Amino acid sequence: VSSPGSTLTPLSPQRLQAAVHYTVGSLCQDVAEDKEVQFSKQTVAAIAEITFRQCEIFAKDLEMFARHAKRSTINTEDVKLLARRSNSLLKYITQKSEELALSNMEQKEKKKKKSSASMGGRTAEQEAAVTESEDSSMV
Amino acid sequence: PLQPPGPKAVPKRPGASRRKPREPKIASSLIKKIFSHYVKMPVTRDAFKIVEKCCERYFKQLSDDLEAYSSHAGRKTVEMADLEVLMRRQGLVTDKMPMNVLIERYLPLEYRKLLIPVAISGNKVMPSK
């Protein structure tokens, strides 16, 4: 959610747990509507608790994997390693990470275009036409 | 007869080519010994067969994991660090239970010497790296 190096205001565990509980509640509601079943309050609370504790395990493992690769930043490779045990999960995670990578690339391209357009410089031949039209519209 | 572990070629035995190739596995007698040592209870023959199968499966899983961990660190050789990551994920090694304690607890002295430096007489440390 945040870029590495940004300062996050640490939330208290209770607030974190409440946030998790709320999200789990919403997700359970979606499932309940989809499958036409009911979730008791205790069930939702239990799932929230499980999720919260599982996060601790995930965090520790991800830290370990990053350190193992002599990195101090956790990246998608570490996350994939976390999901390695389950084939279907690994497939899903890999697909999602590819989608993310693509959207990131697109965003970067857009940024490049913007900066190159504002500076009037040309970084790629493909953008040349676009920047030209933008330049003419700016003048 | 003990050598420090490391990647090395296995010498081919004469006559090994005549026998049909079998999958290498841990001797069932050894599995039996280890299992009975920890169980302290009578175990049926069928149960031992299942334990053997589990051991095979365990080693398959183990090799897969170690491969993944070593390639994750950008290596092609499995090292001690990979094994430690694996054992941490298995919940054997924790902050309260370091690798060396496990080694000291479960391995005989001659193997321990290879893995953990042991101070010996004459102000020397084994193994000398």
Chain B CB within 8 Å of residue A68 CB: yes
For an interface test with B, which of A76, A81, A85, A94 has the most B Cβ atoms less than 10 Å from its Cβ?
Answer: A81
Looking at the fold, whether A20 and A55 belong to one and the same domain comes out as yes
Q: With beta carbons less than 8 A apart as the criterion, state whether A130 and A113 touch.
A: yes
Give the pLDDT of residue A47: 97
Q: Is residue A58 a contact partner of residue A80, using CB atoms and an 8 Å limit? A: no
pLDDT at B3: 57
Residue of A68, A77, A78, A86 to mutate, testing the B interface (most B Cβ within 10 Å of its Cβ) = A68
Stretches where chain A sits below pLDDT 50 are 1-2, 121-139
Q: Which CATH number fits domain B44-115: 1.20.58.220, 1.10.20.10, 1.10.10.10, 3.30.465.10?
A: 1.10.20.10
Q: Flag whether residue A99 sits within 8 Å of chain B, measured between CB atoms.
A: no
For the stretch B19-68, pLDDT in tens is 667 778 889 999 999 999 999 899 999 999 999 999 999 999 999 999 99
Over A57-83, what HEC string results? HHHHHHHHHHHHCCCCCCCHHHHHHHC
Q: Where are the domains of chain B?
A: 44-115
Decide if B85 and A70 are in contact by the 8 Å CB cutoff: no
pLDDT attached to residue A40: 95
Distance CA A15, CA A41 (A): 19
**Minimum CA–CA partner of A77 in chain B:** B72
Cα-trace Rg, chain A? 22
- Tell whether the model's pLDDT for residue B92 goes beyond 80: yes
In a domain, residue A28? The reply is: yes
Cβ within 8 Å of residue B100, ≥6 positions away: B115, B116
- Contact at 8 Å (CB) between A44 and A28? yes
Q: Say if residue B5's pLDDT is above 80.
A: no
CB contact under 8 A, B72 and A84: no
* Residue A52 within a domain: yes
Residue A53 lies in a domain: yes
Same domain, A55 and A30: yes
CATH code, A43: 1.10.20.10
Assess if residue A135 is contained within a domain: no
A40 assigned to some structural domain: yes
Closest Cα of chain B to A31: distance in Å?
31
pLDDT at residue B14 above 60? Answer: no
| H or E stretch covering B118 | strand B118-120
A35 touches chain B (CB under 8 A): no
Q: Give the pLDDT score at A131.
A: 42
Here the tokens at position B112 are: 């321990």
Structural domain span for residue A85: 75-114
Asked whether residue A90 is domain-assigned, the answer is yes
The model's pLDDT over A83-105, given as tens digits with 9 standing for 90+, comes to 999 999 999 999 999 999 999 99
State the pLDDT at residue A67: 95
Q: Are residues A79 and A55 in the same domain?
A: no
Contact of A41 with chain B, judged by CB distance below 8 Å, is answered with no
Size of interface A-B (CB pairs under 8 A): 23
> What's residue B116's pLDDT?
83
Beta-bridge partners for A97 = none
Q: Is A8 within the bounds of a domain?
A: no
**For B72, phi and psi rounded to 5 degrees?**
-65, -35
- The shortest C-alpha distance from B47 to chain A (Å) reads 26
CA distance A121 to chain B (A): 38
Total domains present in chain A:
2
Nearest neighbour of B88 by CB, restricted to A64, A70, A77: A64
Q: Phi first, then psi: give them for residue B6, nearest 5 degrees.
A: 180, 165
